[in-house]
Amino acid sequence: MSRIGKAPIEIPAGVTVKVDNNVVTVKGPKGEFSQTVNPDLDIKIEGNILTISRPSDNREHRAQHGLYRALINNMVVGVSTGYRKEMELVGVGYRAASNGQVLELSLGFSHAIYIQLPKEVKVEAKTERNKNPLIILESGDKQLLGQVCAKIRSLRKPEPYKGKGIKFVGEVIRRKSGKSAGAK
């Protein structure tokens, strides 16, 4: 049985969930999202609790039960509190600056990199003395935020010898010892 699919979704105050045919629409203070759901699944709203049930235990229904429950929960959290990711630039001379929806990165290449971010994502770049520059990204759409973070990280992935690159705050990079450890 799907443990994720069985879990009820609590709808916080200020958030409205509407189900029309097989489209779930979630509205809240941070925006509005909609998701098409498999018509086989049954969605019920009782008070401020949303539950999803499946008609049978076949493989496809089990898989989609948990999937759509997670997607709807992500939408509810996104419109109420939103999502936030912090990325850290580790390396000498690495800099970040934000100007509206454009993020400017200096990552040790011969030129600066400019990234045009979607309007749904808010960006802020912080640089403090004697600390690594931070990029703070906020959005109500969890999938879009993860995609933008992955794109930024792909420009300079953390390398295992010195740990230089773009990493998430709190992420642990597995380090290698290098040449000197093996030569004896």
Angle of CA points 131, 147, 75, to nearest 5°: 105
Task: Please enumerate, as own/partner, the contacts of 143-147 that have beta carbons within 8 Å and a separation of 24 or more.
Answer: 143/74, 144/118, 144/120, 145/83, 145/85, 145/121, 146/85
How far apart (Å, rounded) are the C-alpha atoms in residues 71 and 36? 10
How far apart (Å, rounded) are the C-alpha atoms in residues 132 and 95? 9
- Condensed to tens digits (0 to 9), the pLDDT of residues 76-94 reads 999 999 999 999 999 899 9
Name the one residue in this structure whose structure tokens are 């999937």. Answer: 67
How far apart (Å, rounded) are the C-alpha atoms in residues 131 and 20? 50
The sheet carrying 16-20 orders its strands as 16-20, 23-28, 31-36
How far apart (Å, rounded) are the C-alpha atoms in residues 94 and 180? 27
How far apart (Å, rounded) are the C-alpha atoms in residues 177 and 163? 11
For residue 21, what pLDDT is reported? 87
Count of H-run helices and E-run strands, the chain: 4, 13
**Percent residues over pLDDT 70 in the chain:** 97
pTM: 0.87
> Would you place residue 163 in the very low, low, confident or very high pLDDT band (cuts 50, 70, 90)?
confident
> Would you place residue 180 in the very low, low, confident or very high pLDDT band (cuts 50, 70, 90)?
confident
Q: What is the mean pLDDT of the chain?
A: 91
Is the backbone of residue 110 left (phi > 0), alpha (psi -120 to 50) or beta? alpha
- Condensed to tens digits (0 to 9), the pLDDT of residues 27-55 reads 999 999 999 999 999 999 998 999 999 99
Instruction: List domains and CATH numbers for the chain.
Output: 3-80 (3.90.930.12), 83-168 (3.90.930.12)
